[in-house]
Structure 1
Amino acid sequence: MQTAADTLAQAPTYDVAIIGAGPVGLTLANLLGQAGVRTLVVEKLDHIIDYPRAIGIDDESLRTLQAAGLAGQVEAHITPDHWMRFYTATGQCFASIEPRTDEFGWSRRNAFIQPQVDAILHQGLARFAHVQTLFGRELAHFAQDDSGVDLTLQAGDGTRQTLRARFMVACDGGNSSVRRTLGIAFEGRTKPNQWIVVDVRNDPLGTPHIGMHCDPERPYVSAALPHGIRRFEFMVMPGETEQELSQPENLARLMRKVVADPESLDYIRKRVYTHNARLAAKFREGRVLLAGDAAHIMPVWQGQGYNSGMRDASNLAWKLAMVAKGQAGEALLDTYGLERRDHARSMIHLSEVAGDIFAPESRTAARVRDTVMLALNAVPPVKQYFAEMRFKPMPRYEQGVVLHAADNPARQAPLLGGLLDRSGDTPLGRLLGLMAEKKESPLGRLIHSLEAPEPSPVGRMFIQPRVTDGEGRIQRLDDAIGPRFAIIAWGTDPTHGMDAQTLAFWQRLDACLVRIMPPGQLGHCPPVREGVLTLGDVQGRIKDWFARQTRSIAFVRPDRFVAALASPQETGAVSAQLARLLHAPLLPAYAPALQD
């Protein structure tokens, strides 16, 4: 007679089971697939969602898709340099977000149509025999023990199957059943007002970019998207319902604000949604982790819900892969929440501030906003601050797999405290707080003028300029080094100061050892140890980056964040410290060549 234990022993086993085939789950599965990790994706729907949702993808997310080997296909479906402009009720532009930098290898703001990119992500999984996708299966039950998670899946016809995975990642949305089953609090608030989204084909306006029209009678958004798609969003006013607004005559009344002939529009969809701002109390419970909307949801005003989920996937994938392959201990997974949760909170805060500025609660507040913002926009440094999107909180990891040396965070100056005390918890006060958090802002420059020099890049994302190899090929840095650890040195062999034990450690992790130099020197450079990649700094940006540091070697993680800096003589000590942070043995017991 077969027992329950026998049944579980025969169940298919995976390293990672991902619940939800949205963009975060699909991206995570592609990254794990590239790393050779046995992965299962479970989706309760019969297919991926095919209606438009997110419309903004940033440079960090495109870099993640580049790591997944899919950026070339995605690039055909994005509009780069997609600006966002805010207008008063009279049509006067009071703020324009126009970032023109590409420090991470891509345009900072890009328009896209999410189903097209989701389809590419789904198709990308076909590259991996060790990645399986099950559609039309709902997670009916799960239970975890010290070595894995048992999943019971139920199909539409009621049949059930049991599977087992070493780890499970919940990417099942803001209403995550996994998060609710685990009893993890989802803290935050829901805005009382709703918005109706209208997507149309054959763009009736044809103008580029996004217009945020701050009309107190009814704020609305007009966004140009790739392939002739236009999105309109209108605030649902008190007393209105989705059913009423969807009636042809009422919808025509809304659309008449923005187009001359509403009856001729080719509608794709109409949908009402509510803005939520919520954050899970923790991102890990044993062998179960939360990612994307299951871990955090935020208002749409800065387009960061989708992009924050992509950051989750990028941060989590390499850690799960190291643990699954026995390269690191399971405690490494605790750094996922340490690193991602605080930044997700910052992005929620930014999105709430942007929403409060766009649609304040009263006409008086709207008039104050217009007056203040027009005045600020007349000051060139402030205008530049907004245009370059410097208010966006970039991830900087203070804890986790980062080795901070003598990093002294700037203190809050009395001037800042006074400004914030007087402005209080208002949209203006929150805006001042965001501006002052960054040294690059006009207010930040004033506040931090007497503070320490520029903060260390440790815990921040490394740049991605163009580089060239000895054959004259020019490509983005990440394409040259691959999605793995990289030890990047300016001008010298990064292994010069490494002993055999340290070198063996990085070779075991398949780290890319890189020497960077001016391209003109490539044909005359001294030899390096076998396996070291020499690249030319085509744009001079890597030289400029190292010129601002006191050390010449950067330890860069697979998600492209700087884990540590070192001088050539410090590489051994720094490697040993990073090994401890990774919960990875510097000298593995199973390495016979090093046991003599």
Structure 2
Amino acid sequence: MIHPVPGQNRTPSMTQEPTTSYGSTAFDADVAIIGYGPAGVTAATYLGMQGVSVIVLEKDADLYSRARAVTVNDWTMRIFQDFGIDDVVKRDMDIARALTWKTYDKKVIFRLGFTDGGLGHAPSYMIYQPDMEREIRRNAERFDSIDLRLGHSFTGMTQDADGVTITAQDADGADYRFRVRNVLGTDGGGSKVRKELGFNMIGQTRPRRWLVIDGEVTKWWPECNELVFWSDPERPVVDIPLAKGNHRWEIPLQEGEKDSDFDSEEKVWARLKMLGIDESNARLKGWAFYSHHLRHLEAWRGRHVTLVGDAAHLMPPWAGQGMQSAIRDAQNAAWKYALVAKGLVGEDILDTIQSERSPHVEMMTEMAKQLGFLIEGDDPILIKLRNTLGPYVMHLPGLSKKMLPTTATNRFEVGWVTGLPQKNNALGRMIPQPEVYATSGIIHRLDDLLGQGFVVLGLDTDPREAMTPDQVSGWERLGARMVTVVASGDSRSDADTIVDHTGTLRRWMTKYGAKVIVLRPDRFVAAADPTGLDVPPARGNLEYAAEPTSAFPQNLREFARSLRANAPV
């Protein structure tokens, strides 16, 4: 439900009698979401799908018109599939083929292709963010439990033992307040929710300032469909073909240059013409200035409030993972918030949002840093070494799988699982998504056939037969569906059987020694028969798990180290 425009049915002012009072146990909604960017709409959508009441505050009355993110991958697309909009958003996307590093004399010094991750979608897509956001927002309008208040600003909050009283200002400037059980802060790098909690980010901001130019292609120029990192010590440039004929250039300002030096189209064009692009090739749509941050919170949660996305962590753009990490954070948080709102799990489960997501965010940040080394390196010796070794290194077999995110890196070690995730078990791993058959003979992608929520999969057996009555009732209380996985040679007709005709699920489960696994709503494994099929406690394995180890592939780090270590003295 979209809140009325200014001047219509104004929300209660604080000068009027509020609907609830501070400390009251009456609530206007289960959850408040502050910020309605990609993370906010992701969280709101999942909660809306579950019928959980949500109030969303978004200070901007209209969708932000500038593109920020440039890509999504198969994991993010799987989330959109869960919302039923993957085919819709794909219409406005182009499949990405490779990342290429070149010098201005057109020498290719490094290239990474994308490999199929087994998640049911292409490994990478180029997007035009405003169009993508418009579609996911439109989809969220279907849910009556979402009270979306565009043009309403978050101004403060007070927490007590039972919930949170939020103060806000509507689009007409009238103050009001409302009360919720829990709050999700998705309000970006300048988060007011974070400031209200008194949380401070640690880390650094890179001194180099970047001019980011968005344009629309009007006439093809050579290889304008290729994503290129122009690797030059003086003026590295990121040259990005976006979807639907849009294009982006990211150009660093030089020492002594200021944002105000580019205050007109004429001055921006002068910089693009240095790249061989002029008014005959493109139409400018706008430009902005950015600094690259490597910052994060040490704690994401403060009592009834959790921060995710850029409100909790900031990374450089080189790996294209900033917005996507925010979307994944929001999905992880939303299904847990839904369980809490329904009284199915205690609030302590919210502690597992950070424990599960933070290691992957750190991995993506490290990846961005190392890819940035290939782009921004300015040491002449290292540049020579990079340009000499890169063309040979890029031909190593399987390099892309080891240097870019894959299904194998979509995992966690500490969180809401029964037992300890290890290399030889399925816990904390995302299950692949092959095509499978229903017993009616119709082929589906796995998630479409399983549906939403929890699912217990039994390989060649009804999973109930491997579980105790308490385990069955525990998972069924959470709404779990019991499903048998069989090979195409079996004869079955019941609705709770899927036919794994490619053998993908069988190979994956057998690899980790599992005959029965429990899938969470985000398609990570919560429990498996070798490690125990009980429903995890609210805090999962947080009480006894060791600190998570880095899941970041060593190859890129070692490549960067080798460049430094082997540099001539």
Q: Same fold (TM over 0.5)?
A: yes
The equivalent of 2:497 in structure 1 is 534
> Aligned-pair RMSD on alpha carbons?
2.5
Matches within 5 A, 1:303-322: 303-322=320-339
Cα–Cα, structure 1 residues 488 and 222, in superposed 2: closer, same or farther, change >3 Å?
same
Is the contact between residue 300 and residue 307 of structure 2 (CA under 8 Å) also seen in structure 1?
yes
Query: d(CA) in 2 for partners of 1:459 and 1:405?
Result: 9
SS across alignment from 1:195: strand
Aligned mate of 1:84, from 99, 102, 106: 99
The alignment status of 1:511 with 2:526, answered yes or no, reads: no
What is the CA–CA distance in structure 2 between the aligned matches of 1:186 and 1:370, rounded to whole Å?
A: 36
Change (3 A) 1:369 1:535: same
Is residue 433–residue 445 contact of structure 2 (8 Å, CA) maintained in 1?
yes
Mapping 1:268-417, distance limit 5 Å: 268-378=285-395, 380-381=396-397, 384-386=398-400, 389-390=403-404, 394-404=409-419, 407=422
2:228 aligns with: 211
State the distance in 2 between where 1:281 and 1:389 align. 26
Residue 29 of structure 1, aligned match among 44, 58, 69: 44
- Equivalent residue for 2:453? 484
Residues 575 and 386 of structure 1: CA distance in aligned 2, closer, same or farther (over 3 Å): closer
Give runs of aligned pairs for residues 2-401 of structure 1, distance below 5 A: 7=21, 13-202=28-217, 204=219, 205=221, 207-262=224-279, 265-378=282-395, 380-381=396-397, 384-386=398-400, 389-390=403-404, 394-401=409-416
CA shift at 1:262, angstroms?
Answer: 3.4
- 2:562 alignment counterpart: none
Aligned to 1:493: 462
TM superposition shift of 1:387: 6.4
- Taking only the aligned residue pairs, the percentage that are identical comes to 30
Checking the alignment, whether the CA contact within 8 Å between 1:488 and 1:515 is kept in structure 2 is yes
Q: Is the 8 Å Cα contact of residues 156 and 196 (structure 2) preserved in structure 1?
A: no
Shift of 1:491: 1.5
Tell me, in whole angstroms, the C-alpha distance in 1 between the residues paired with 2:333 and 2:394. Answer: 39
Residue 190 (structure 1) shift:
0.5
- After superposition, what is the alpha-carbon deviation per residue over 1:136-165, rounded to whole angstroms, capped at 9, x for unaligned? 111111111111111111124331111111
Distance 1:506 1:577, change over 3 A: closer
Q: Give SS of 1:578's match.
A: coil
Shifted more, 323-332 versus 261-270: the winner is: 261-270
Query: Per the alignment, in what secondary structure is the counterpart of residue 261 of structure 2?
Result: helix
In structure 2, the CA distance between the partners of 1:245 and 1:362, relative to structure 1 (3 Å rule), is farther
Aligned to 2:507: 544
On the 8 A contact 2:345/2:538 being kept in 1, the answer is: no
The 3 A distance-change label for structure 1 pair 156 and 37 is closer
2:437 alignment counterpart: 468
Note if 1:560 corresponds to 2:523: yes
Q: Is the 8 A contact 1:20 1:42 kept in 2?
A: yes
8 Å contact kept, 1:98–1:388: no
Tell me if the contact between 2:527 and 2:534 (Cα under 8 Å) persists in the aligned partners.
no
Q: Quick one: which amino acid aligns to residue 467 of structure 2?
A: M
For CA contacts below 8 A with separation 6 or more, give which structure has more relative contact order.
2
Residue 11 of structure 1, CA deviation:
8.0
8 A Cα contact 1:82 1:111, kept in partner: no
What is the SS of the residue equivalent to 1:84? strand
Q: Secondary structure at the match of 1:262?
A: coil
Displacement of 1:339: 1.1
1:219 is displaced (CA, Å) by 0.8
* Secondary structure in structure 2 of the residue aligned to 1:163: strand
Alpha carbons of 1:79 and 1:297: their partners in 2 closer, same or farther (altered >3 Å)?
A: same
The alpha-carbon deviation at position 79 of structure 1 amounts to 1.3
The TM-score normalised by the length of structure 2 is 0.86
* Partners of 1:257 and 1:158 in 2: CA distance: 47
Match in the other structure for 1:446:
none
Alpha-carbon offset, residue 540 of structure 1: 2.2
Paired with 1:389 and 1:474, the residues of 2 have a C-alpha distance of 33
What do residues 485-507 of structure 1 show as CA deviations (whole Å, max 9, x unaligned)?
A: 11112211111123433322222
- Matches of 1:502 and 1:44 in 2, distance apart? 45
One-letter code of the match for 1:140?
T
Matched residue type, 2:526 = A
Q: Which amino acid aligns with 1:321?
A: A
C-alpha spacing 1:313/1:203, structure 2 compared with 1 (3 Å): farther
* CA drift at 1:82: 3.6
Equivalent AA in structure 2 for residue 161 of structure 1: Y
Question: Which of residues 531, 536, 554 is equivalent to 1:578?
Answer: 536
Distance 1:174 1:6, change over 3 A: closer
Partner SS state of residue 533, structure 2: helix
Instruction: Supply the distance in 1 between the matched residues of 2:427 and 2:25 (Cα, whole angstroms).
Output: 46
Contact 2:486 2:498 survives alignment (8 Å): yes
- Using the alignment, how far apart are the partners of 1:548 and 1:561 within structure 2? 16
1:456 aligns with 2:425: yes
493-502 vs 135-144, greater mean Cα deviation: 493-502
Structure 1 spans left out of the alignment, 5+ residues: 408-453, 584-596
Q: Residue 576 of structure 1 aligns to a residue in which SS?
A: coil
Q: Which has the higher helix share?
A: 1
Q: Describe the shift of the 1:260–1:168 C-alpha distance in structure 2 as closer, same or farther (beyond 3 A).
A: closer
What is the CA–CA distance in structure 2 between the aligned matches of 1:577 and 1:514, rounded to whole Å? 17
Instruction: Tell me by how many angstroms 1:7 deviates.
Output: 4.7
Tell me by how many angstroms 1:260 deviates. Answer: 4.8
- The alpha-carbon deviation at position 376 of structure 1 amounts to 1.9
Q: Are the aligned partners of 2:418 and 2:533 in contact in 1 as well (CA < 8 Å)?
A: no
- Aligned residue type for 2:516: I
Pairwise CA distance, 1:551: 2.1
1:422-437 matches, cutoff 5 A? none
Distance of 1:260 and 1:343 partners within structure 2? 38
Which secondary structure state, in structure 2, belongs to the residue aligned with residue 397 of structure 1? coil
- Kept in 2: contact 1:486–1:557 (CA 8 A): yes
Q: Which moved more, 1:396-405 or 1:188-197?
A: 396-405
Which of 236-245 and 135-144 deviates more?
Answer: 236-245
Number of equivalent positions: 523
